[in-house]
Amino acid sequence: MEDAEIALMFSLLAIPVAIWLQLWVKSRREKRKNVSGEEEFENTTRAFMSIIIEGTAIVGGLIMIIMGSGGVIKYIINFYMT
C-alpha cells in the first residue's frame, strides 16, 4: 500500500476512538450525579484528578477528530485531483 492509504486508515481509525473517548467521559459524569443532578466527589483530590483526566480526554478526542477528518479530506482531495 502507498503512504496515502496508510494515512487514510489511521485517520479512519482515530475517529471512532475519539468518539469512544467522548462517550467514556459522558458516562463517567453521569455516574457521579446525585438525585438533584449535581456531580458529587468524595474529596478534593478525586475532583481534581477527574477534572485533569476528563479534560485531557476531551481535548485529546477533539484533536483526534480534527486530525482524522483532515486526513480523510486530504485523501479525498488528492484522490480526485489526480
Residue 1's pLDDT is: 56
Task: Kindly tell me the sign of the dihedral angle through the C-alpha atoms of 18, 24, 29, 30.
Answer: positive
Q: Which residues of the chain have pLDDT under 50?
A: none
- Name residue 39's beta-bridge partners: 33
Residue 65's pLDDT is: 93
* Alpha carbon distance 51, 67 (integer Å): 24
* Alpha carbon distance 25, 48 (integer Å): 15
* Alpha carbon distance 16, 31 (integer Å): 22
* Alpha carbon distance 40, 82 (integer Å): 56
Residue 3's pLDDT is: 83
What's the pLDDT tens digit per position in 13-36? 999 999 999 999 999 999 888 888
